[in-house]
Chain A
Amino acid sequence: MSGRLSLHPRRTLRRQAFMRQLASPRLECPCSKNWVFNMSIADSLTAPVNKIIPFSLVDGPGSRTSVFLQGCNIACAYCHNPETQNLCIGCGTCVEQCPAGALTLSDGVVAWDKSACVQCDTCIHVCPHKASPKIEQLTPHEVFDIVHSYQPFIRGITVSGGECTLHPEWMRELFALCREVGLGTLIDSNGCVPLWEHEDLLEVADGVMLDVKAWNPAVFARLTGGDAETVKRNLAFLAERDKIEELRIVVVPGWNDPEQTIAGIARVLGDKVATTKLKLIRFRRFGVVGTLADAASPTDERMAELEKLARDTGFSQVELR
């Protein structure tokens, strides 16, 4: 993966310019016909952005920019980016240990000096709360300006996390802006937010890349701390709306139930099983902390068995990763 992207250095200047424009009688913006509307909301609405990867090969079809939001509503035992799970609570542990002096604590808030940061990730490693101080609160417009600058090299964006659907309004604004300039819009979700309550978000989303981490509720709860029922309802809802970009099962030996998950998904999808893309992903311990930090990956034979099972169940687009 490429290094973390520095968020736009002229952001503050742009904000000032925007404020000046707001005060002027001519409100025009080349990127959005609904500029006044969008900006009036966007200006007050921010989301915690962990990072933006200009070019991702693995977050949907073609060349895409990936936007990672901070904060998750579940805590998977195999989480590969545990530092994205929580928002900083300002304990200051990282401030003392930052070798570059890029972090300061004042009024219970950790401030990050991006220009001084050497990206050593010490702050992330020492954080006792699975958070990161290197987060920027950005408006949809600010993120849009960044991703828009990557056109024409990308066909779309994928918003991931953490759990990005914890910010449905923010995403709707971002996606609406993207759609106006022809950028595709995908959601990468753990399915634990009731998406049926956010139809307006889905209207501007091309689809959802949905994790189905386990099927049995007890297995799901042990693995993630979350509720499998919401995921299943989302699965049915998204299938009905033709908004499933792909489904993903991470195979973790001893921790989930991929056979039941494949069968359960197929039951929910019905006829659509043949046209739904299923990705079977090997658990890899890279980046994992805690219980599964030293756990083994499933064998090639195990993955091949599951692929065969998926195909026998009716999936025609199965990919092993």
Chain B
Amino acid sequence: MSEFMDIITASNLTYGQKLIHLAQAAENCEHPIPTTPEFDWFFERDAICDMHEGNAPYRPRYICCDMERFARQGSDFLRLDAPDNLDDLLMNLQILYQNVPSVTGRPVYVGQLDRVFDPFLDGLSDEEILPRFKRFLNYIDRTVASGYCHANLGPEDTRAGRLLLQADAEVQNAVPNFTLKYEEGITPDDFARLALKTSMACANPAYANHRMHKHTYAAPVDGPADGYTVVSCYNVLPVRGGAYCLDRVKLSQLADLATSPEHLLNELLPNATGALLEYMDARIKFLVEDSNFFQTSFLVREGLIDRERFVGMFGMIGMHECIEKLLGPNHVYGTDPEANDLADQIMTKMTDQVQAWSAPYSEIADGHYLMHAQAGFGDQTSSTPGVRIRVGSEPEVFFDHIRHCARMHRFFKAGVSDIFPVEPTAANNVDALLDVVKGAFAIDDTYLSFYPSDSDLVRITGFLVKRSEMEKFARGEAVLADTSHDGEGNWRANNLANRKVRLG
């Protein structure tokens, strides 16, 4: 059967999922983006990867609409008046979400919801707001149905933020993923404790180091002061903008081609990085100049996104395996100083090269692509996410693990993250979790997340899925959220059930 017929006749995909797969297959029949022989050579050896974004990009990978602006102005194109009250606002947002594309075909960003909602809560009691928030969150979970979809909160304590946390703990959904922007001194301990209690109840939110991220991008005119938002598997992107694309060097595979660490550092890495940079240029030029997305989208016309606020993300994956292949089994990445120093050297070299490259249409990032520690997807094996330590090799002491994370985080402006399952009893001492967050962020760790080790909701690369849904899909049944597909394969392939449980 053809690829198309495989999709059409599949028994484990919903109608909506078939539609998305068919659209991807159709897009991939075209090949408008030229590639260089160097790119093809590395691509064929799986050492660089286009993330299966599709051969002919007709929308940016991730779009981060300025939802606060939308809440103020409504939409001409969608014929929505500016909302007068919370109910209008909720309906307007639900309509907008249906019209925001991304690489998944659905929105990866539903807004900095506390700031969006807070001006609309006056005159309503908590008892009136909570059921509305729960319905709204269920709407996103059941319609967007993709774990890459993300909402943001904080760093300030708001009534809306508190009620959203309460609602999220009650609905126990995988979508949207939540990030709390946290900064000591701005985020009150009391609000942080509520967030951590919520994380122990439903694996949400995760925690972004606001102090480190808030100056990454200039704030949009008349827009949110911090200028950034977190989407998908922890991509730190300009709000009212987004990411054109995400492509990656697979260090784990690149190392297979290396005869020595020097060979990798001095020849393979610069060549692969250069080939990928050229490819990203071509990809972005096609999207900006030929696809007509930015020329025609009402999101641009109505100021919800600006083309000038998009960046290209230069990704990498598989540092752990790369070091293992280069130095052998006696130098375990994460705990061996020589292994860690080599990783640092690789990252420094790659980052310098990316920073020196003049990228087209990258005004918001000073004319450059930004580094992202790509966390994988699907059932890929032999590539541990980004610069994470492979499951099973984690340092014995949790704090040593975090110190290593913080050391590697400094290379990634467009996002890097770690995931820690924790003892369920930590729910009884969220102050201890708060101490860990404060300590980690004080040493410049930029992002971390927790989930209780016995939770049905678990984090895969960063996105959340329900174990119960993965099990259903593994039995051959169709499930609503297609991130359960990626999750199921990844969970098995990367041994995620055996992540070292922390705080025990």
Instruction: Give A contacts to B, CB under 8 Å.
Output: 1-3, 5-6, 54-55, 57-58, 61-64, 149-155
A63: min CB distance to chain B, Å: 4
Please state if B435 and A63 are interface contacts (CB–CB under 8 Å): yes
Return the CB mask of B432-443 against A: 1 if under 8 Å, else 0.
111110111011
A154 is contacted by which of B396, B423, B439, B440 (Cβ under 8 Å)? B439
Please state if B399 and A153 are interface contacts (CB–CB under 8 Å): yes
State whether A57 and B432 are in contact (beta carbons under 8 Å apart), knowing that A152-B438, A152-B439, A154-B439 are contacts in the complex: yes
Find the A residue at minimum CB distance from B438. A152
- The answer to the question of B56 belonging to the interface, with a C-beta cut-off of 8 Å to chain A, is no
Please state if A57 and B428 are interface contacts (CB–CB under 8 Å): yes
Per CB-CB distance, the 3 closest pairs between chain A and chain B, nearest first, are: A63-B435, A153-B439, A63-B432
B207: min CB distance to chain A, Å: 14
Please state if B429 and A153 are interface contacts (CB–CB under 8 Å): no
A128: min CB distance to chain B, Å: 31
Which chain B positions have C-beta within 8 A of A64?
A: 432
Please state if B435 and A57 are interface contacts (CB–CB under 8 Å): no
**In the complex, A6→B432 CA distance in Å?**
22
Please state if A55 and B439 are interface contacts (CB–CB under 8 Å): no
- The answer to the question of B58 belonging to the interface, with a C-beta cut-off of 8 Å to chain A, is no
B431 is contacted by which of A54, A63, A150 (Cβ under 8 Å)? A63
A181: min CB distance to chain B, Å: 14
- The answer to the question of B22 belonging to the interface, with a C-beta cut-off of 8 Å to chain A, is no
Return the CB mask of B414-449 against A: 1 if under 8 Å, else 0.
000000000101101101111110111011000000
Please state if B399 and A62 are interface contacts (CB–CB under 8 Å): no
- Secondary structure call for the A interface: loop
- The answer to the question of B481 belonging to the interface, with a C-beta cut-off of 8 Å to chain A, is no
Please state if B504 and A152 are interface contacts (CB–CB under 8 Å): no
Please state if B428 and A152 are interface contacts (CB–CB under 8 Å): no
Please state if A152 and B442 are interface contacts (CB–CB under 8 Å): yes
Please state if A58 and B429 are interface contacts (CB–CB under 8 Å): yes
Find the B residue at minimum CB distance from A57. B429
Find the A residue at minimum CB distance from B434. A62
Please state if A2 and B396 are interface contacts (CB–CB under 8 Å): yes
Which chain A positions have C-beta within 8 A of B436?
A: 63, 153
- The answer to the question of B258 belonging to the interface, with a C-beta cut-off of 8 Å to chain A, is no
Please state if A54 and B398 are interface contacts (CB–CB under 8 Å): yes
10 cross-chain CB contacts under 8 A: A57-B428, A57-B503, A57-B504, A61-B431, A62-B432, A149-B399, A152-B439, A153-B398, A153-B399, A153-B402
B167: min CB distance to chain A, Å: 27
**In the complex, A292→B439 CA distance in Å?**
41
A149: min CB distance to chain B, Å: 8
Please state if A57 and B425 are interface contacts (CB–CB under 8 Å): yes
- The answer to the question of B124 belonging to the interface, with a C-beta cut-off of 8 Å to chain A, is no
B188: min CB distance to chain A, Å: 16
Which chain B positions have C-beta within 8 A of A149?
A: 399
Please state if B396 and A62 are interface contacts (CB–CB under 8 Å): no
Which chain B positions have C-beta within 8 A of A153?
A: 398-399, 402, 435-436, 439-440
Find the A residue at minimum CB distance from B425. A57
B399 is contacted by which of A1, A55, A61 (Cβ under 8 Å)? A55
A1 is contacted by which of B397, B426, B435, B504 (Cβ under 8 Å)? B504
**In the complex, A152→B439 CA distance in Å?**
5
Find the A residue at minimum CB distance from B396. A3
**In the complex, A155→B432 CA distance in Å?**
9
10 new A-B contacts at CB < 8 Å, known A58-B429, A153-B436? A1-B504, A2-B504, A55-B397, A55-B398, A57-B426, A57-B432, A63-B431, A63-B432, A63-B439, A154-B439
